[in-house]
Amino acid sequence: MSATESPATPTSQGAATAAANEPGSLRLALTLGFAGLLSGLILVLVYQFTLPIIEANRALALKRAVLQVVPGAVSMQKLGGDGATLAPIGEDEKATVFAAFDDQGAFKGFAITGEGAGFQDTIQLIYGFDPAKKQVVGLRVLESRETPGLGDKIIKDQGFVGQFDDLAVEPTPVVVKAGEGGGAHQVDAITGATISSKAVVKIMNTAHGAWAGKLPPAAALKAPGGAP
């Protein structure tokens, strides 16, 4: 590690400033205090300026994901609460289950997020569920660090992702070798990425097991803002 010093450093000036500074501890504290004050001021200003933009971005990304996994949906409502059945919660709260509605305000399905261990690291995903059809109607991986070229096909391979557009949840979905399945609850694994494929289905099943019993009946749900 050779940290090459600049040859152009004027040493005479450095010596002059050092001589001028015979620092007492009050001065040291003052300098640090001033630096802290200045930095706090800058940070608060930039924070105030960027916060609304960042929050809008985040809300938009989440909404986009929810609407993508529930076909036909244009608006959503966060669900949560401690009760035996989930209830609508405020826009600002954190949620893992969402109800999605079409442009007429009619209920289209639930979107549920889940996460768990993949091949490399944690995978986060969101899937859409239509309780009337008892089907998964769409799935998207939100975050993963799976191997590029193989494991990341769980995001990019349309043949794999497309299977979640109409996947029966009873009996519990299983992964089979490519071309050997065909059942309504069977998912063909990606060749060369069996473990990632299995991880996706397992995370989805675990999330579904946790939330399916708590989903409120469709009749109890209203689109946010009261659609016409």
Partner 1 sequence: MDSNLLWIFVSAALVNNFTLSMFLGLCPFFGVSARLDTAFRLGLANIFVLIITSLAASALNAWVLPYAPYLRLISFILVIASTVQFVEMVIKRFSPALFKALGIFLPLITTNCAILGLALFQTSREYGVIEGVAFAAGAGVGLTLALVLMAGLREEAELSTIPGIVRGTAMNLIIAGLLSLGFMGFAGLFGQAA
Partner 2 sequence: MSAGPDMKALDELLKGLWDENPVFVQVLGMCPVLAVTNSAVNALAMGGATFFVLMASSLLVSMVRKWVPKAVRISTFIVIIATFVTVADMLLAAWVPDVHKELGAFISLIVVNCLILGRQEAFASRNPIKPALMDAAGMGLGFTFALFLLGASREVLGNGTFFGIDLFGPQFEPWVVMILPPGGFLMLGMILLFFNWMQAKKQARRAAAEGVA
Contact footprint for partner 2 (CB under 8 A): 1-10, 13-14, 17-18, 20-21, 23, 27-28, 31-32, 35-36, 38-39, 42-43, 46-47, 49-50, 53-54, 57-58, 61, 147-150
Antiparallel, parallel or unpaired: β 122-130 and 135-143: antiparallel
Return the number of the residue (108 or 153) whose C-beta is nearest partner 2.
153
Return the number of the residue (13 or 84) whose C-beta is nearest partner 2.
13
Do the beta carbons of residue 190 and residue 160 sit within 8 Å? yes
What single-letter DSSP state applies at residue 146? P
> Which CA distances in Å does 195 have to 59, 142, 169?
32, 18, 20
Other beta carbons less than 10 A from residue 62's beta carbon: 18
Structure tokens, 11: 């040493």
The size of the interface with partner 1 (CB under 8 A), counted in residues, is 20
Distance CA 34, CA 110 (A): 52
138 burial type by CB count under 10 A (0-12 exposed, 13-18 middle, 19+ buried):
buried
Contacts with partner 1, 50-89, as mask; x by CB under 8 A: ----------------------------------------
Query: According to the binding rule CB under 8 A, does residue 121 interact with partner 1?
Result: yes
Query: According to the binding rule CB under 8 A, does residue 30 interact with partner 1?
Result: no
Of positions 16, 44, 56, 210, contacts partner 1 by CB under 8 A: 44
Q: State the amino acid at position 163 in one-letter form.
A: Q
Do the beta carbons of residue 86 and residue 215 sit within 8 Å? yes
Of positions 16, 61, 117, 210, contacts partner 1 by CB under 8 A: 117
Query: According to the binding rule CB under 8 A, does residue 196 interact with partner 1?
Result: yes
Query: According to the binding rule CB under 8 A, does residue 177 interact with partner 1?
Result: no
The minimum distance between CB 41 and partner 2, in angstroms, equals 9
Site residues for partner 1 per CB under 8 A: 1, 39-40, 43-44, 46-47, 117-122, 145, 147, 195-196, 198-199, 202
